[in-house]
Structure formats: structure tokens, C-alpha cells
Structure 1
Amino acid sequence: MQIKKPKLSYLSMLVMLNLGVATTASAAEGSQSANKDIEVITVSGIHASMVKSMDIKKSSDGVVDAIVAEDIGKFPDQNVAESLQRISGVAIDRDGGEGQLVSVRGLGPEFNAVLVNGRTMSTVSGGRAFSFDTLASELISGAEVHKTQSAKLQDGSIGATINITTHRPLSIGEFKAVASVKNTYDKLSDSNNPTFSGLISNTFDDGKFGVLASLAYSDKDSRSDVAQTAGYLSETLDSLNSGETLENVFMPRNYDQIVKTENRERTSGSLVLQYRANDDLLFTADALYSKYDVSYREDILAHWFEPGNIVDATLDENRTIVQLATGNNSATDYLNRLSYRPTTTKALGVNMDWQLSDELNVTADVSYSNAKSDGGNGTTDTVAGFFNSYTFDTTKGGDVPELGFEENLSKDILGANWASIFGDDIEDKIVEARLDAEWIVDQGSLSKVNFGTSHSSRTLSTMPTNTDRTVRNGWGGYVVQLPSSLFTDFDADGFLSAAGGDPVSQWLIFDSYEFMNFLESDQGYTQLDPDSAARMKAAMDNNGGHTAQNVLSDSYEVKEELTALYVDAYFEGELSAMPWQVVAGVRYVKTDTTSSGYGNELVDITGPDALGKYVPITSDNLTRISEKADYSNVLPSINANIEVVEDVIIRAAWSKSITRPTLTELSPATSYSEGKIDSLSASGGNPNLEPYESDNFDLSLEWYFDDASYAAISYYTKDVDNFIDGGISQESVTVPNGEFDIRVSRPMNLNSTKIDGVELALQHRFTYLPAPFDGLGVMANMTFVDSESSADTAENPLPLPGLGDSQNAVLFYEKDAVQFRIAYNNRDEFMQVTSNWAGGAPIYVEDYYQVDVSGSYDITDDFTVFFEGINVTNEVTKKRGLYSSHALYTIETGPRYSIGVRGTF
């Protein structure tokens, strides 16, 4: 049964805020000023997490939200990203039902800096986006989301800076050992998945020396059901049985049904050593390790639509095909993909904190981070099929089209159509050094000055791989007939049942490697015509069959050097008995980049041929290309707050910030395409891209009315220049055949964008209710965000990718030994990309909400049993194109349920 989606309205949030605040106004007292020391309150569980996160927010210089572990080894959610989405303005992207990437205030993952203990972490995303699924939440003590900038804060983010912290032994201060074991049942894959985590910490020599070690292991099997269309093309249908011609028709490019089974095995560990030489000097050395291996299998039923094969079609009001039938010259394909992507992340750091005098404190930090993915020979792509006719119908209800075709389980009519192995070897290395000083001045209103410097060096290298072109392209047309023994009947039981519709649930599957072994045998390639067979045999002998080879022409390396200086001045005082603070600072940062790659040098352009085409001729040998670029930025910032009445704080902030281009966009290579004299084209990266630059303004009102309760409203605006988008420039080249103008597509700094938004947040415990209801509490927030761009037109006012409203609500109960929580998260429809490769239209991710539950019972003070439920209402994610009828993607990952035990010693 399809469950109707609940939605929190703007009005309901205001009512919630007023109810929570009004009923506790008389009880709100005694909270400290934002500029005073934080009171130490010894509590545990959800209450402890709320108190600590609220104190971080209240005492911060700017607009900050935080999440704190409820206890050692107990983060609020199974995944760090899942916890961060509970913060106002934060939204996440999921992979296989698990939180992976984080967007803040409408700006995507590439616009947010993610730090671990104040240091940049390497990533194998190929860009700057950090994959949170590589970190085990059991190792994390907390996370802070800095929504405003300061000079001390590391630059590189116009969205937010997210700092994840891990546990420290001297902060724990005593012997502590924590272990947990749980089993997670994945309903869609019908699998049980174990997770183990443990942490041990102790101090020695009267608390001067501390050691902490932690380990977390998980092994997760999952299944995803996907219905997918690459895009909608504007086509002319002139082969209809009716004899009529239909022009400007939106035709689906294809339709695939995919069952993806996946295994994710993660082993994470940390080691921390701390030594307090004396009361003024502390040394910390820490190491973090994560091994994350992802393997999956995709079994796909695929159909490719061509306008000339369509013999019957029904259109809707937008001239989109909603029903079609094809002739016998179409094809049904079965695809198999097997993938293995091992990822290793390592981080090492050494920190010194030295109180040189009562007035001067110095902190030095050196760190190294490395992330590596050996996925170069890890993904197969194999296709078998046969010529066939079929029907396609989206009018029968539900989100999954109805597909009709014959012979779907016939194993003796199948031929080969494609075979390849591909992937990427990616490595990201970062070395950082930082020196920070705090000088207590206490001269008039000037209380202190922070200043410092930092330097970092980052190198990202990518080596794509693929099967030799002759080998992978040589199997088209179903010429090589395949033995029936390769294929097995497959029943996709309950395929996309949560989405509705009547999809095909049975088709044939096979194994990619058995498939390629047959093609490489004498029974396989010899079915080609003699010339093709000889070419194929030679190509396979020279390239190890279908083994993936390095594609040097698509490889690149980007090295980025950052040098920064900063100073922050802290001013404070009272205005008519209202405590105030102003932090004014400036950060200077210089960026040097070296982009290296390989390309074929353009040596001539021949033509025109009989069709009027010109053909670019490139050198046979690859040439190494290296380009350098540099730029400097001055980034001022002001953060101010005033406590207008006790526990009511107004904050205002203004800053300039930057986000550097995605490293993948800096590749220097250019590739050329043939065309007529007025349509010669080329494409490539752009090593000379400048950073996004943003002017930011924030204004917030915060009321802290109890030890774990507050209400807040924030307004923000961002004016972003140098927005990077695909651009086309006219470039002239001179070759022996003359001078030619070529249209070159590259990422360019083109547009400006303005973002503004409002955030509402409430956190409250209903301690004044009669027992047992005095254990109830709520955390809720809403974000409203909008944008406008210089690229917008009246006919096409596209929003910023990733921009969308969101709502969160958590209702919890915590009293004595019992704890329970139900969490609701909703993200309104947002645009994912501005232009899809198939059809050029934008892709929108439709509204999505998810409900999670968790609970625990303390059998003793040291022993707890707990349960968790993720996506308990089994929601599906959907994407569409230009119109609602342009369904592009529907995925069901199913609910997950966990039960476990946790012990503290």
C-alpha cells in the first residue's frame, strides 16, 4: 500500500515553536551568557547530547550547529551523514540507502569543507566532496557545522565547514572500555549483517599520559531495485503504422530494470596518544584508518528505443510518448555488471598545545592524509540480447512502466553485443602544517587576538582504465551466438513493489567473466567474419583479452599548494547592561596549481570530404601537458553577537569566502571532433579556472530557555560570483591546411548566483509534564531556501543544483532505563543537474521523506540492549526530467532493522 506522505508546513512549525517556548517561559532561568564559561553538567544519553550540542552553539563566535555523541561509541545515527541531516540547512544524498554526501544551505558537497579534528581529509570522489560512508560513526565523538566564516577557520567553503572530532584519552580522563555488537536485517535483500565496535582508553602517570584505541567492523549486504531511463529526446516519428508523421515528440532514450546486489565491508580504527608534559604543554599524536570495500552485481533487463523502430505511439499533452510499440527490428538486452572497488583512507597527525605564558598560547599541527581506490580493473559491462518487438506503457498506474515482449526466457536465441572491463585508480594525498596563536590582550574592549599561518599540499591523480577499443567494440550486432549454458532464469521477486506498477519480474542473467571467457575462446570470436576474427584475435593477444588497459589520454594529476595567513581580533563589552562580542578578522590565502595530463597534439585538419566534413588529425604519440596557475584571495570576516536579555542572543555576520574549482575540472587535456567548417568542436578541462567567490551575510535570533532547550531563527544570503558552468569559446588554430575556428567546450567562470534562506529550529524537553511523560522531548527544524542566477531567463528560470527546502522532526523519550526516538526527515524536490546528457534537460529529484526509529533499555548501568529501524515506511527515491511524465529513475532500497547490545567497562 502506498503511504501518503506527511508534510510539515510553515505554520505548523511556528505553532510548534510557540507551544514549546510558551509552556516553559516561567521555567527558563540561570543559563549563562554566550561569552562566559560553559557550565559542566554531568548527564548521559540524549539529554547529554542535547546539552553539549546546545552549549557549543551558544558559546560559539558565529552561527554553529553541533551534534555530540550520546555516549562513547554511541552516535545518534548509524551514519555520520544521517545525523548531520538533523541540523537545519543540512541535506544529504544517499547511496544504496546509506547517507554519503552532505549539502548545506543549498550548496552541494563540493562547496563544503569537511575536516577531521581540524584537518582536511583525503577522498576518492575525484573532487572535493567527502564520502561520509567511509567513516564508522562509532569512532566519532561529535561534529560541528560552521555556517559562518572566520579568519581562523580554514578557507575553501562557501557552504559550511564541517569539523568531525574523535575521542581523546585525556578528555575521558579514566579507564574506559566500550564494546557493542549488533545485527542488521536488510529486508529487501533478506540478509543479516553483523557490526562490531570497540574502544578502550586509559591514562597513566597520574593522568599525564593517555592511550586510546578503537576498532569498528561492519559487513553489509543490500539490494536495490531500479527502473531507469537515461533521458527524453526530441524526435520525429515517421514509421508509424498509421502512416502519419509526428514531429517534436519527447521519446524515452531507453528503459532499464535493474536489480543491484551489493556488499559493503568496512574496517575502521583509530589510535590516539597524548602526553601532558606539564600543566602548560600537551602533545597529541593520532592515526585514523579506514578500509572500505564495495562490491556489487547488477542484473539488467534493457531496451533501447529508436524513432525509426516505433510503429505505434500515444502522446500526452506535452507531446511525450506514454505508450509505444516497436517492430521486430528492435532488441531486448540482458546486461551484467560486476564491480569491486576497494578504498583505503589513512590519516596521521601530531599536535602540540603550549601555554607559553598567561597571555600567550601556541598550537602547532602537522598532518598527512591519503585516500586510495584501486578500482581500475573492477567493473565489467557485458551485453547479450536478441532482435525483438515490445510494448512500453506508463499509463497503467504506479511509478514503474509496464513492459511487454516475447521470448524473455529463451536461452537459445541470444547473441553477444558488448563486453568491457573499466574503472579508475584514484589517489588523493594531503600534507598540512598549521601554526596558531592566541594572545590575551585585555586592553579596553580588545580581549584577545588570534593569529596564525598554514600551508598545505594536495595531489590528486586519476588513471582511468578500459578494455581495448577494438576488443570491446567488436561484438556488436548479436553475430556471435552464445550457448544456453551461460544463462540462468532470474526471478526479481517483488521488484519495486513499494513504487507500484506492473514491471517484468523474470528475465535471464549471466556472469560477465564466463561470458568473456567464451568470447575469447575459439568457439566465440571465430563466429565473426574472417577479417574481423583476425583483428579481434590480434587485439586480444596484444591486450590480454578483455583486461582493462590504462587510458593515458584520460589520466590527469592536479597538485594544489595553499599558503594562508590570518588574524582575528576579539572585542567585547556591555551596552546598556547587554553583553556583546565582535570578532573581526582577515585571512589571506595564495593558491598555486599544477595540472598535468596527456593529449594528442593537433597536427592538421584535413578536408573537406565529399560530405563537407573536416577531420582533425592528432599525433600518434601522447604528449605530456602541464599547466600552472595561481591566484590570491583576501577574505575579511566579522562575527558579532549581543545578549539583549538574559539567554536571548542576536548574531550578525558578514564575510567573503571561496570554494576552489573541483579538481577534476582542472585537467589540461583537449580532445577534438570532426565536423563541417562551422561546427568543428573540441572539449577539455580548464586549468585556469578561478574560485567561486561569495559575499555572505547572516542574522540570527536565539533563545536558550533551559539547560537543553532553545529556539532559533536565522536568515542568510550569499552572493556568489565566478560560478562555474559548461561554456563554449571560439579558439583559432593554425595547421598546415590553414587557420580554423574551433568551438571548444570547457568549464568556465560564467555566472553569478544569489542564495537566500531562512532556518527555524527548536530543541526542547517537556520536563514539566506529569510522569511518565516528563521524559518526552522534541528537536525540529525547517529550512526555506531560494536562488536566482544571472543565467536565468524568463522562459527558463532554473534553480541552483541541490537547492531545496527541508524539514526535520525528532520526537524522543528518555527516562530512567528507557530511551526511544522517532525521526522524520523530508527534502523537497530539488534540481540535481542542469543538463542531462540524453536530451539536455535538467534532472529533478522529487520530494523524499524518511522515517527512522531507535530505542534502548539499560539492563544495568553498564549494559544496554538497543534496536534501530531505518526507512521503516519503505520510501522510494524518484527522479524526473522536464515534466512529471518524464520519469528517469525510481529506486527502492527497503527498510533495515538492527538489534544489538552495548557494554561499558
Structure 2
Amino acid sequence: MKIKHIALLISTALATSLSTYAAQEEDNNDETEIIEVRGVLSSLKEAQEIKKLSNNILDALVAEDIGKFPDANVAEALQRIPGVSVSRVHGEGQKVTVRGLTGDYNVTTLNGRKIASETVGRDFNYDLIASELIGGVQINKTQQAKLSEGGIGAIINIDTLKPLNIGSLVAGSLEGYYNERSEETSPQASFLISESFNDDTFGILFSMNHTESKTRFDSHSAQWGWGQWNMKDLLPNDGYTDETVRFPNWPNITVSTDDRKRTGGTFALQWRPSANLDINFDALYTKYEILSTGHMISLALFEGTNLDNIQEVTVGEDGLGNSITIGEPGNMDSPAIAELLEDQHPRESDTFQIGLNVNYIYDQFNFNFDVAYSEAEDASAEESWIVVRTAIDTLSMNWDNGEQVPDITFGDTVLDENTDYGAWYARLQGDKVKDKTGRFVFDGEYEPTDGIITQVLFGTGYNMQDKGKTFWSQKNASAFTSDDMSIINAPESEQFEINGNTMWGPLPASALSPSSFSNFMGNSGANLPSAWAGINVNGLFDYYRSLDNEAFEEYLVPRPSLEGGNTYGVKEETIHAYAEIIIEDEIVNMPYMLDLGVRYIKTDVSSWGYSQSPSNIAFDSEGKITDSHKQVGYVSFNGSYDKILPSANFKLSLTDKLVLRLALSQAMSRPPLTNLSPVTSISQDETTLQNFMYENDPGLEPYYADQFDTSIEWYYSDSGNLNFATFYKELHGFIIYEPTQQNIAGKSFEVTSPFNDDDNSSRIRGYELNWLQTFDDFLPASLAGFGVSANYTYNNSTSGQYDGDNNELPFKGLSEHQYNIVAFYENNGLMINLAYNYRSEYSLGTVWSPLMPSWGEAAIETLEVDEWGALDLSASYAMNDNVTLTFDANNILDPDFVQYIDGDKSFVDYISSWGSSYRAGVRIKF
């Protein structure tokens, strides 16, 4: 039966039942309060109890103790949940995928309220919130009418702590963090104080957390894809005809260092003057500063290299280059080109949320009022890509060495700070993002005294999200290269030649810094340079200013850019209303619960941006487009849509230990913000005079999914259970792009724009298996305390999207297999927790690789990530009721993170290694 028909039936059932009704939205559901839990087993049992009592299918995480979440990072803690996988940035978990659906398909709430995000899209960076600040997380995998809309994948709610549930408590921790690659130790500390007054009717809670870490990770990248060359172009005298070979265009090795500082805190006031009234005010603030710097050697195999200097090329049977040698030892008349790069990715994130909640019980009614406001900002903007160039007498690279990283050797040249380098490329650009969210919600719940309808819920409210992005960029990042020396007003004495190229330089010593690195990628078996110079960016820019300060200010200083459609904002205002009834009765002496609901939403969209306009298009007498179309002006858009989202959750207690669940619903996720900016871009191929136009559609509809879930849960003992769940989602309305021919300004244009594809669908389908078992009943008392928690997820999904050869593309970000195994021991104050997390390979979409020597043609190929598994250890020893010693080891196995092309694992596009990290310290509680 189609979901829209089910919506009619559910609506009819509700209409006959809602003479009086009330509700309580998910963020204030007291059944999910998670407070005094101590120890691994207690937290697992509490999480399972939350799952057992819930009306919908969900999973939960609970803090093992106040200020002690299962992992130091919330994202990495979430990966312990069945169906949840984590995306890492520089080795740290940041974003989550639920049942194959990435962050744009999930909604993250804090205490039930959507929290603002400093990302460009709709996803949320979970590394923002320190795990010490939260008490628990619920991952709602099936819909209820009272749940916020927008999460086809899941609604993920993060709970902070309430003072009257904590009582009188002072707790804190002090730890040292050590990364084996950086070989540096950094401080990490947290503090919490909670107190209640007036016979426990009023409470105050304050918590803070500060972490610092200095880490290092190493990588090798093909960079700009694998170009395809004709052998006759590389070795014209060796008799080749049509044979081809593929080489990376700019292969590089990089040592990256991260300097991270995160400071956050929560504040809560709670007043409960009677059993009927509960008033809560809560606030959260977090600031995360990261400076990630990559120190890179990049090898321009062909760009800037005279092809006559190529000495030798060998090709594997797969058509990939096995080796290449450029230049002759000691002969600087036929050199290869090498580059030093300084790659910086700063992050300056500030996020806060404040909220007020009033809950009042009157007779059989429970009324709930909630208002909240949140802001998030990333003010970093300036990602840098700074390049200087030099020549090396000989470059030899060998991919046929039995390693995934090639051998890289030079002749007599040493890339240290004493080598002559010339100015090249200096890109400074990035986004400043500011997001604002707010809400005003009224909910209620009515509990009849008799009959099979045990609860009637309703609610209405207003939600707003306003996100703006400003793109900062330069006028000309290549101003100080050899492209056009005349734009720099400096004497010729400041110029020199490298391989026939005139460049500004040699660079002064102040523009360079000595560097040395050991243990590259955990002592990779490849033959690689052990040291190379770094770039002192401030010193380099001082040199550029000394050449021509006015040119530096004009061309290299970033400013807000109104071109290219990269500066825009989208505001969405949503009014919602929902109704939900809960029916409880028995079927042949088996208790059941039926939760039927309908949620209605109406969203008004307003967007703004800076765009070219078709009205400015003009052509000259030769049919060439004039520059008038490049004029950019402010544009805006207003639109709206509404949706009805039905849901049904059924729970049947086959026995007092065996529970069967069925869930049927329709869910939606809003389209990417990048597609909602009102932007038009116009261009012309100067050779063919073919005209092109790209235009966004701010009126795009949300994606929607028909969903069917099942679960059978066997709670066979107080500390043992086995759960099996299946899920099926059929997604419609994906955004696709198809060009059409249109007549504009009297000429034919190929116009490409996004639209919702309702003719094709994607299918997410699979199952989850979850098991918790302790062994106290099987072991002697002397061995009591051992247990295991394990889960496995299988996902067999189809994207419904195809490449140019009509081959179905894999679903982006989805691993077919995923499992977690946690073995723990807890007894006599000693706790040991060993966790292994695995996910199979998954797709990152497509990558563009040029077909050389022309950049005009390219191969569009798939990009996959290899399977990955992590082993983590957590241990603690309670010396007494107040003092606990702690130790954590993360990424113990240190596996390589590998991306490869077109399903061929020997076709490596990127590989990195992060090293292991350790934390040790003490937790105190009074």
C-alpha cells in the first residue's frame, strides 16, 4: 500500500480520536533521561532499556559515568551504534553516516532542538562538542509524528545534563594527550559542578571542558588525478605508436601537523517547585580552533617539465606507469621540476545554543512549551595553497615496489633550505559561514483514564534556519609566477631562471624553514626523502611585498567575492503541526502498542546571492559573446512547499522477553543549500562559439522516502539481549542535472539546471544484528566481570544513478559491511574496554582525470575508499569512590586510509596514516 494512502487512513483514525489531546515532543521525553550510570555494563544496560521502552526503533548511547562517554570524540562514540559509520578528517571522527545516508540526510538536535552548524551544508560536525559535556545520545531510526522532520537517515539527539537529576556533585578530570607521530604531549581537562537548593526544588549545573592536541599524519597523493599519455609523446624516439600510459600528474608526499584547541561549557538552571511544574533553562557554548598545516613535496612530472628530459618509462600490464626517470644525475641542463608546498586549513568555529523549557502537568494533561536559539560560525576563510619551485637534476619514481607509496629518489639535489627556489603560486581563499536557528514550540499529551487509547499527543510550532556563506578569494593567485612578469613592478635583478623559466628569486632565507621528519607513514617500506625544506609563509609574503607591495595588495589579499555564485544565503521558515495517538491492548494475551501519527509542515524559502543575468547577454558581429554578461548583480528568490508525513510504529510483546516491532512511514530531507542559491552562470566556448548557461533552482522540492522497518528484540536476561532489525527505504526526488537547448538572446544555449527526479528511485536496504552478553553465569566468581557487545550491519543498496555507459553508480558513502566488537572486563574497580570497529569499502563519487597532453578531455572515474578497521583500548582503575585513574589508546593498529580509482586497489589516488594516540590521567568526583 502506498504511503499516501496510509496517511489518509491514519488521519481518519486521528480525526475520530482527538476531541481532547496533548503531547510532549521528543526532546522532553522523560523516558529518555539518562543520569546516574556508572560502568560499561551499566551504560550498555541503560541504553538497552531505553531501546526496549521506546515506541519507535532507536538506539542509544549512555555515559559510563558523569563526564565519561565511551569515546573522547562523540562521532567516534556513535560508530559503536549499529548502522552508524564515521567520516574522519585528519584522523579524527567528524561526520556520521546512518544506514548509508550522509549528514545532509540526518538531523542533529541538542536537547531536542536543532543546533546550528558551521558547515556549508546541512550536516553537523560532531567533533565540536566534547564528550565530557553530554550525558547520552539517541539515534531515532524510524519516524514519529512528534520527531523533527528532515532526517531520512536518522534524527540524532544529544542530551546534556540536568542539575536536579545530578544533585550535589563536583567532578573533574585532568589528562595528558600524546600522539606518537608528533611526539608531543598536550593537556586536557574538564570540570563539572552541580548543586540543588530549597529541598531539591532548584538546581544549578555548570560544566567546562578544554582540550589541546598536537597531531601529525602522513600522506601520499596522486593530486589532480591520473593523466593518460601517449607513449610516443613521452618517448618520441622509441618507436611507439598508439600505446598509452597513465601517471599521476603531480604526485606528492605530505607531512601534516594539526594544532587543535577546543573549549566548551554548559550551564543549566532547573526549577521544580512542585511535581506538576518543571522549568529548565540550558545553554551550551563551544569553540574549536584548528590549524592544519601540510608540508609537501610535489613533483610536476609533466607540467613545466621539458618532455625531452624524460630518460625512461616502464608500463605495467594494467596500463599504469611502473616507473619514470626524468633528468640525468649531475646535469642541471635537463632537470625535473619539484615544488615545495605549504597547505593550511584553518578552522575557527564558534557554536552556542540557549533554550527555555516549561513542562506543566494538569490533571490528565501534560503541556510543554519550548523556545530556543542557536548560532554557529566559521570565521576562518583563508585556506592557503602556497607553492615555490625549483629544479632537481634527476627524479626517479617507482610504483612497482610492492608498496602503495612509490619510491621517490633524487640525483645529487637535496631539497633543503639552501637550494635556490623561485616564486610560484599563492592561493588564499575560503568560506565564512554563519548559521542561525530558532524555534518556538508548544506540545501536549493527554492520557485517557480508560479505553485502548492510552495517549493522545499533539503539537505545533515554528522553526527557522538562516545560513549565509561568504566566499573570500584573491584577484590573481598566480601574480608572482612567471605567467606575466610585467604585472610586478620590480627590477630584473630580482629574477633568475629555472629550467628555462624566468622566475622571481632566488627566494631569501627568510622565506624558507628547515624541516626533518622521521617514521613517515609508520616506517613505510618505500624509499622516500627523509627531509625537505618548509615554506615560511610570512617570510615569503614579506618578500613579495618587497618586490611590489601594491601588486601584493591588489592581487593576493583575499576579499569577499561576489562572482561565481559562491556567496549566498538561504533562510527556511517552517510551521509544523502534528497529531499522534498511542493505542495499547492485547492480542491473544500478548500486549501491543500502536503509535499512529501525521506531521504537517509548511516551509517558506527565501534565498539571495550574486548572479549573472541572461538579460545582459549580447553578441558581436562574429557571434562572440561580449563581456556584458559578466556583470554580477544581487538576486533573491521566495518560494514555499508543504508536506504531510505519516508514520506508524507497532510493538508486540510476544513474551515478557521477546518484542516484535514494525514501522511504516514517509520521511523527507531538504535539498542541499548550494542548489537553493539563486545563481546563473553564462559562458561560451571561444573555439566552437557554443553557448552554455548554468542556473540553480531555489524552488527545488525536498527528497522523500517511503520506509519500512522491522525489529525483533530478545531480552533474555538482565544483562543479555539479541536484536535483529531490517530496514528498507525507497528514496525519490533526488536532484539530477540534465542539459536542455534553449533560445536566449536570439542564440541557442545549452542550459543545465538541477531538478527533482521523480521517475527514478534509490533503495537503501539491509539488516542489523546486535548482541550483548555477560559471562558471570558461566564463569567462576573469580573470573566475573567479562562481557561482550557486538553488532553487524549489512547494507545492499542501489543508487538509481548511472554513468555515461549506463553502469549504475554505487551509493556515495555507503559500506556494504560494518561491524563493531567491544570486549570488556569490569570488576573490583578495574575496567578494561577493547573495541574494534570495521567498515568495508565505500564510494566517494567520481573523480576527474585529464587525458594528456590536452586538458580539454577527461575521464570521469569512480573513487572508492578501501576497507578500514580501528582498535581502541580504554581502561580505568577506581582507587576509591572519589578518584579514578584512566588510560586510553586510540588507533592502535594504525591502518592506512586508502582511496583508489575505478575499483582497482592498485590504482591508488590517496593514502594516509595517522598514527596512534594515548591519553592518561585522573578523574575526581565528590
TM-score by length of 1: 0.90
- 1:481 corresponds to: 505
Shift of 1:874: 1.7
Map 1:551-590; keep pairs closer than 5 Å: 551-553=561-563, 554-590=566-602
The CA deviation string for residues 59-82 of structure 1, in whole angstroms up to 9 with x for no partner, is 011111101001111111111111
Counterpart selection for 1:767 from 776, 782, 785: 776
Residues 423 and 481 of structure 2 are in contact (CA less than 8 Å); yes or no, is this contact kept in structure 1?
A: no
Residue 404 of structure 2 corresponds to residue 383 of structure 1: no
Residues 633, 235 of structure 1: alpha-carbon distance in 2 compared, 3 angstrom cutoff = farther
Shift of 1:684: 4.8
Shift of 1:403: 1.7
Distance between the aligned counterparts of 1:40 and 1:393, measured in 2? 56
Residues 427 and 477 of structure 2 are in contact (CA less than 8 Å); yes or no, is this contact kept in structure 1?
A: no
Residue 542 of structure 2 corresponds to residue 517 of structure 1: yes
Residue 373 of structure 2 corresponds to residue 368 of structure 1: yes
- 2:4 corresponds to: none
Distance between the aligned counterparts of 1:342 and 1:563, measured in 2? 33
Letter in 1 for 2:693: A
Residues 506, 747 of structure 1: alpha-carbon distance in 2 compared, 3 angstrom cutoff = farther
Residue 434 of structure 2 corresponds to residue 413 of structure 1: no
Shift of 1:266: 0.4
Residues 285, 681 of structure 1: alpha-carbon distance in 2 compared, 3 angstrom cutoff = same
Residue 343 of structure 2 corresponds to residue 347 of structure 1: no
Residues 268, 648 of structure 1: alpha-carbon distance in 2 compared, 3 angstrom cutoff = same
Residue 833 of structure 2 corresponds to residue 843 of structure 1: no
The alignment partner of 2:577 has SS state of strand
Shift of 1:773: 2.1
Residues 700, 672 of structure 1: alpha-carbon distance in 2 compared, 3 angstrom cutoff = same
- 1:641 corresponds to: 651
The CA deviation string for residues 204-257 of structure 1, in whole angstroms up to 9 with x for no partner, is 111111100000001111111111123223443432331313455433232111
Letter in 2 for 1:350: L
Distance between the aligned counterparts of 1:593 and 1:366, measured in 2? 21
- 1:293 corresponds to: 289
Residue 466 of structure 2 corresponds to residue 444 of structure 1: no
Residues 362, 748 of structure 1: alpha-carbon distance in 2 compared, 3 angstrom cutoff = same
Residues 345, 590 of structure 1: alpha-carbon distance in 2 compared, 3 angstrom cutoff = same
- 1:316 corresponds to: 316
Distance between the aligned counterparts of 1:585 and 1:679, measured in 2? 53
Letter in 1 for 2:654: V
Residues 399 and 500 of structure 1 are in contact (CA less than 8 Å); yes or no, is this contact kept in structure 2?
A: no
Residue 339 of structure 2 corresponds to residue 333 of structure 1: yes
The CA deviation string for residues 269-313 of structure 1, in whole angstroms up to 9 with x for no partner, is 010001113221111011100011111222110023438836643
Distance between the aligned counterparts of 2:196 and 2:375, measured in 1? 30
Residue 263 of structure 2 corresponds to residue 267 of structure 1: yes
Greater shift after overlay, 153-162 or 240-249?
A: 240-249
Distance between the aligned counterparts of 1:42 and 1:592, measured in 2? 42
Residue 921 of structure 2 corresponds to residue 904 of structure 1: no
Letter in 2 for 1:132: Y
Residues 683 and 746 of structure 1 are in contact (CA less than 8 Å); yes or no, is this contact kept in structure 2?
A: no
- 1:604 corresponds to: 617
Distance between the aligned counterparts of 1:57 and 1:705, measured in 2? 15
Distance between the aligned counterparts of 2:276 and 2:201, measured in 1? 12
Q: Specify every segment of 5 or more residues in structure 2 that has no aligned partner in the other structure, as ranges.
A: 1-28, 328-333, 484-500, 851-858
Shift of 1:498: 5.3
- 1:180 corresponds to: 173
| Identity, % of aligned positions | 31
Shift of 1:796: 2.3
Residues 63 and 147 of structure 1 are in contact (CA less than 8 Å); yes or no, is this contact kept in structure 2?
A: yes
Letter in 2 for 1:482: P
Shift of 1:259: 1.1
Residues 618 and 629 of structure 2 are in contact (CA less than 8 Å); yes or no, is this contact kept in structure 1?
A: no
Distance between the aligned counterparts of 1:890 and 1:40, measured in 2? 40
- 2:834 corresponds to: 822
Map 1:438-477; keep pairs closer than 5 Å: 438-469=445-476, 472=479, 474=481, 476=483
- 2:733 corresponds to: 722
Greater shift after overlay, 787-796 or 444-453?
A: 787-796
Distance between the aligned counterparts of 2:321 and 2:582, measured in 1? 64
Residue 819 of structure 2 corresponds to residue 811 of structure 1: no
The alignment partner of 2:467 has SS state of strand
Shift of 1:795: 6.1
The alignment partner of 1:841 has SS state of strand
- 1:134 corresponds to: 128
Counterpart selection for 1:708 from 675, 696, 719: 719
Residues 51 and 60 of structure 2 are in contact (CA less than 8 Å); yes or no, is this contact kept in structure 1?
A: yes
- 1:64 corresponds to: 58
Distance between the aligned counterparts of 1:493 and 1:728, measured in 2? 50
Letter in 1 for 2:522: S
Residues 498 and 876 of structure 1 are in contact (CA less than 8 Å); yes or no, is this contact kept in structure 2?
A: no
- 2:440 corresponds to: 433
Distance between the aligned counterparts of 1:754 and 1:679, measured in 2? 38
- 2:71 corresponds to: 77
Map 1:9-28; keep pairs closer than 5 Å: none
Counterpart selection for 1:655 from 641, 657, 665: 665
Shift of 1:513: 1.8
Distance between the aligned counterparts of 1:39 and 1:335, measured in 2? 51
Distance between the aligned counterparts of 1:664 and 1:483, measured in 2? 41
Residue 234 of structure 2 corresponds to residue 222 of structure 1: no
Residues 428, 731 of structure 1: alpha-carbon distance in 2 compared, 3 angstrom cutoff = farther
The CA deviation string for residues 372-410 of structure 1, in whole angstroms up to 9 with x for no partner, is 11112x333211112455232211012211123342326
Residues 305, 606 of structure 1: alpha-carbon distance in 2 compared, 3 angstrom cutoff = farther
The alignment partner of 1:772 has SS state of helix
Residues 445 and 455 of structure 2 are in contact (CA less than 8 Å); yes or no, is this contact kept in structure 1?
A: yes
Q: What RMSD over aligned residues (CA atoms) do the two structures have, in Å?
A: 2.4
Residues 469, 36 of structure 1: alpha-carbon distance in 2 compared, 3 angstrom cutoff = closer
Map 1:756-905; keep pairs closer than 5 Å: 756-768=765-777, 769-792=779-802, 796-804=807-815, 805-836=817-848, 839-882=859-902, 883-905=904-926
Residues 538, 180 of structure 1: alpha-carbon distance in 2 compared, 3 angstrom cutoff = closer
The alignment partner of 1:441 has SS state of coil
Map 1:714-753; keep pairs closer than 5 Å: 714-725=725-736, 727-735=737-745, 738-744=746-752, 746=754, 749=757, 751-753=760-762
Residues 489 and 508 of structure 1 are in contact (CA less than 8 Å); yes or no, is this contact kept in structure 2?
A: yes
Residue 637 of structure 2 corresponds to residue 627 of structure 1: yes
Letter in 1 for 2:69: F
- 1:508 corresponds to: 533
Letter in 2 for 1:401: P
Shift of 1:320: 2.2
Shift of 1:561: 1.0
Residues 844, 498 of structure 1: alpha-carbon distance in 2 compared, 3 angstrom cutoff = farther
Residues 707 and 729 of structure 2 are in contact (CA less than 8 Å); yes or no, is this contact kept in structure 1?
A: yes
Map 1:90-101; keep pairs closer than 5 Å: 90-101=84-95
Residues 437 and 451 of structure 1 are in contact (CA less than 8 Å); yes or no, is this contact kept in structure 2?
A: yes
Shift of 1:678: 7.2
Give the number of aligned pairs. Answer: 847
Residues 419 and 475 of structure 1 are in contact (CA less than 8 Å); yes or no, is this contact kept in structure 2?
A: no
- 1:754 corresponds to: 763
Letter in 1 for 2:809: L
The alignment partner of 2:210 has SS state of strand
Letter in 1 for 2:341: L
Residue 168 of structure 2 corresponds to residue 168 of structure 1: no
TM-score by length of 2: 0.88
- 2:708 corresponds to: 697
Residues 616 and 672 of structure 1 are in contact (CA less than 8 Å); yes or no, is this contact kept in structure 2?
A: no
- 1:104 corresponds to: 98
- 1:213 corresponds to: 206
Greater shift after overlay, 85-94 or 616-625?
A: 616-625
- 1:196 corresponds to: 189
